[in-house]
């Protein structure tokens, strides 16, 4: 490709709306252009890089038995209604009506479509196991797109779906994906970790996320350096500090003027936060026999901990969870800032599992400016559910080894889910087993974002001058720069011949033959960030050949003209070998 013909230009300055380095550099280097909030066009350089990412995905999926298919972007709504997600997912789902007034859905993911295919194509155990995948455009109407390609509304995903006769088969395919995703990400030159995560709208009983650790990440992770435990904060477990054993004391009401926060209360009474009970109120849509109904939820954690809303929502199977208003709190007999579950009725009381073992806590008296001393679970109140609903924090004790965990920020690159039979049951995906019994197909779902991978590679691989692409996904291998001599055609003739020879050898070349100054050409080469730069000039020819420079090194060398192609091939092999050395078996994080 000649630079004079390349669609898209480099920019001297990044647009003001660019928030993170990958966004700024991909815009400046002519890779992407915005169309609307969270909607981008991918120009030729980006398209070539993304195609290479997609081909890596194909190779790794094919290696574990995947078969590529293509599924529609537009779905009939009745599939999503049968699984219930039409009603569970809010405004992020793209909904519209076709000309026949039928409800339709823009694909966020394809579990429903896969299940629809499976119930037609799989009838017998002889048709299992199977693994299908596709690379497809998705739409999620995110209200807060940000950070360029990190958080968008329209995006490209590789989705794969495993189909098995039993859960042992699902385990095997899940673990195969677990390793394959590390292979994909490492082949793209990225570092990542796998963390346990919330299953969210996907459902199922186990999920992992692949995280690129970076300050720009929106996910908070808990990491234990001692034993390797990792989890998204949404689901992270931790060892809770044990309360001292005490005999229950008599309850006593005390005045606590203006002590609406745990910190104010602890300071006023001269007690540790761990000696208090923290009340948090929600309205939640929870399942009932005839559907979903809104219930008032009174959640209690110890005062030295914070409530984890994801854990709470999962515990009560809430479809929606929102903070209760002051009027709603008062309507159940509680007092905002001074509330406790003691004496309340018609509420769903959920307490953290540390509460029953924490005697003589200070809790609200459900009266303004008053609290109760020595409140004890079971004697003074009971809960509808006791479970872990507290959030792990920096320094929390690891649930596996007890070591201090640390917080980190991460960008989610991909995720894998053990779906089980949720979608098979909803859509009637069954097969006949060896004994002639009808059983549901066991499914897994595995997604990885192509555009987000591209952005994170740019985040990790850049310097002050621009992008520094790994050889595996660089749009071209070589940036060939012609510096024309004054009145001498030698450099131009040599450069044209080298361009042809490199292409004949199967080396991908971006040829800057434009009539621009050396400074402009070198700046553009650094900004675009291809692995190898070759410069043909009268000066280099006078020194015996062609100047060669790696993008990730300041060193320059002169290659003999007739040895340039072979030298480039050797260098590319070395760069490829560096990436290949990153691939290794990864221990499965159960």
Q: What's 494's domain CATH number?
A: 3.40.50.800
**Burial of residue 72 (number of CB atoms within 10 Å: 0-12, 13-18, 19+):** exposed
- Angstrom distance (rounded) from CA 46 to CA 459: 15
pLDDT at 396 over 90: yes
Q: Are 161 and 115 in contact (CB under 8 A)?
A: no
**pTM of the predicted model as reported, rounded to 2 decimal places:** 0.90
SS3 388: coil
d(C-alpha 176, C-alpha 155), whole Å: 25
Q: Which residue has the tokens 């459902």?
A: 203
Q: By the 8 A CB rule, do 388 and 353 touch?
A: yes
pLDDT, mean of residues 22-42: 97
Residue 542 CB neighbours (<10 A): 10
Percent of the chain scored above 70 by pLDDT? 99
Q: Do 271 and 335 sit in the same domain of this protein?
A: yes
Residues 182 and 45 placed together within one structural domain of the fold: yes
Boundaries of domain holding 137 = 27-191+417-459
Could you tell me if residue 145 is inside a domain? yes
> Stretch 429-436: mean pLDDT, rounded?
96
- In this structure, are 151 and 256 located in the same domain? no
Q: Which residue is associated with the tokens 């969210």?
A: 200
> E strands along 269-309, which residues?
277-288, 291-302, 306-307
Q: Stretch 114-132: mean pLDDT, rounded?
A: 96
What is the structure's pLDDT at 117?
96
Structural domain count, the chain: 3
CA 495 to CA 484: how far, in whole Å? 10
In a domain, 17, yes or no: no
- The answer to whether residue 411 sits within a structural domain is no
CA 302 from chain centre, in angstroms, equals 31
What pLDDT is stored for residue 589 in this prediction?
75
Q: Is the peptide bond before 129 cis (omega within 30 degrees of 0)?
A: yes
CB atoms within 10 A of CB 369: 15
Question: Can you tell me the mean pLDDT for 451-479?
Answer: 97
Can you tell me the mean pLDDT for 359-369?
A: 95
Instruction: Tell whether 488 is covered by a domain.
Output: yes
DSSP state of 325: P
H-run or E-run covering 538: helix 538-542
Tell me whether residue 95 is in a domain: yes
pLDDT over 90, % of the chain? 88
How deeply is 464 buried, as exposed, middle or buried, from its count of CB atoms within 10 A (0-12, 13-18, 19+)? exposed
70-95 per-position pLDDT tens digit = 999 999 999 999 998 998 888 899 99
- Weakest mean pLDDT among 14-23, 280-289, 485-494, 510-519: 485-494
Within-domain flag for 473: no
168 with 33, same domain: the answer is yes
Cα separation, 56 vs 440, whole angstroms: 32
Contacts of 208 (CB under 8 A, 6+ apart): 178, 194, 195, 196, 197, 415, 416, 589
Q: What mean pLDDT do residues 396-413 have? A: 96
Is 487's pLDDT higher than 70? no
Interval 512-565: pLDDT, tens: 999 999 999 999 999 999 999 999 999 999 898 999 999 999 999 999 999 999
Question: Which residues, 6 or more positions from 104, have their beta carbon under 8 angstroms from its beta carbon?
Answer: 74, 75, 76, 77, 95, 96, 97, 98
Please give the Cα distance from 141 to 156 (Å, whole number).
14
Q: What distance in Å separates the CA atoms of residue 257 and residue 264, rounded to the nearest whole number?
A: 10
Rounded alpha-carbon distances, angstroms, from residue 262 to 240, 266, 303, 337: 18, 6, 6, 9
Is residue 67 predicted with pLDDT exceeding 70?
yes
Nearest-angstrom CA–CA distance, 377 and 445: 41
* Tens-place pLDDT, residues 179-229: 999 999 999 999 999 998 877 766 667 899 999 999 999 899 999 999 989
* Structure tokens, 44: 């030729």
245 is a domain residue: no
| 558: in domain | yes
Name the token pair of 72.
Answer: 């529609």
Give the pLDDT score at 488: 66
Task: Tell whether 257 and 386 lie within a shared domain.
Answer: yes
- Cβ contact 430:402 at 8 Å: no
Mean pLDDT over the full length of the chain: 94
Instruction: Look at 389 and 587; give whichever has higher pLDDT.
Output: 389
Give SS3 for 271: coil
Closest among 525, 532, 560 to 546, alpha carbons compared: 560
384 and 423 co-located in one domain: no
Mean pLDDT of 103-127: 96
């Amino acid at each position: 490709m000649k630079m004079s013909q390349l669609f898209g230009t480099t920019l001297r300055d990044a647009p003001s709306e660019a928030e993170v380095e990958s966004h700024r550099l991909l815009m400046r280097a002519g890779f992407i252009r915005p169309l609307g909030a969270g909607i981008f066009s991918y120009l030729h350089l980006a398209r070539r890089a993304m195609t290479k990412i997609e081909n890596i995905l194909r190779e790794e999926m094919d290696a574990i038995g995947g078969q590529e298919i293509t599924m529609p972007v537009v779905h009939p709504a009745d599939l999503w209604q049968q699984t219930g997600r039409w009603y569970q997912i809010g405004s992020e789902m793209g909904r519209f009506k076709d000309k026949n007034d039928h409800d339709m859905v823009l694909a966020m993911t394809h579990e429903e479509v896969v299940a629809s295919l499976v119930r037609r194509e799989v009838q017998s155990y002889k048709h299992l196991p199977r693994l299908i995948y596709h690379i497809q455009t998705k739409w999620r109407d995110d209200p807060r797109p940000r950070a360029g390609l990190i958080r968008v509304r329209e995006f490209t995903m590789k989705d794969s779906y495993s189909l098995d006769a039993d859960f042992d088969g699902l385990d095997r395919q899940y673990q195969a994906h677990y390793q394959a995703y590390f292979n994909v990400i490492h082949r793209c030159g990225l570092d990542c970790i796998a963390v346990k995560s919330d299953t969210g709208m996907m459902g199922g009983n186990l999920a992992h996320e692949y995280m690129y650790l970076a300050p720009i990440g929106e996910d908070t992770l808990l990491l234990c350096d001692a034993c390797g435990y990792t989890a998204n904060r949404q689901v992270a477990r931790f060892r809770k500090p044990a309360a001292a054993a005490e005999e229950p004391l008599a309850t006593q009401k005390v005045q606590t003027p203006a002590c609406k926060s745990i910190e104010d209360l602890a300071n006023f009474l001269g007690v540790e936060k761990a000696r208090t009970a923290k009340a948090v109120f929600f309205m939640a849509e929870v399942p009932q026999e005839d559907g979903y109904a809104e219930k008032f939820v009174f959640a209690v954690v110890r005062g030295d901990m914070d409530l984890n809303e994801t854990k709470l929502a999962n515990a009560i199977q809430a479809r929606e969870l929102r903070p209760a208003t002051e009027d709603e709190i008062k309507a159940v007999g509680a007092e905002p800032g001074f509330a406790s579950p003691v004496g309340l009725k018609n509420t769903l009381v959920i307490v953290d599992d540390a509460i029953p073992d924490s005697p003589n806590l200070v809790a609200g008296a459900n009266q303004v400016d008053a609290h109760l001393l020595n409140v004890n679970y079971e004697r003074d109140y009971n809960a509808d559910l006791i479970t872990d609903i507290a959030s792990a924090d920096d320094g929390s004790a690891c649930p596996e080894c007890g070591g201090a965990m640390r917080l980190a920020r991460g960008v989610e690159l991909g995720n894998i889910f053990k779906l089980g039979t949720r979608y098979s049951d909803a859509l009637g995906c069954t097969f006949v087993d060896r004994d002639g019994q009808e059983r549901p197909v066991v499914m897994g779902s595995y997604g990885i974002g192509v555009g987000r991978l591209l952005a994170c590679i740019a985040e990790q691989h850049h310097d002050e001058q621009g992008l520094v692409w790994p050889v595996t996904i660089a749009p071209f291998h070589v940036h060939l720069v012609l510096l024309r001599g004054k009145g001498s055609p030698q450099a131009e003739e040599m450069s044209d011949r080298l361009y042809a020879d490199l292409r004949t050898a199967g080396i991908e070349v971006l040829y800057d033959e434009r009539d621009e100054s050396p400074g402009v050409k070198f700046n553009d080469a650094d900004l675009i960030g291809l692995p190898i730069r070759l410069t043909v000039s009268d000066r280099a020819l006078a020194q015996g050949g062609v100047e060669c420079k790696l993008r990730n090194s300041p060193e320059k060398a002169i290659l003999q003209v007739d040895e340039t192609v072979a030298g480039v091939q050797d260098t590319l092999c070395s760069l490829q070998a560096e990436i290949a050395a990153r691939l290794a078996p990864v221990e499965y994080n159960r």
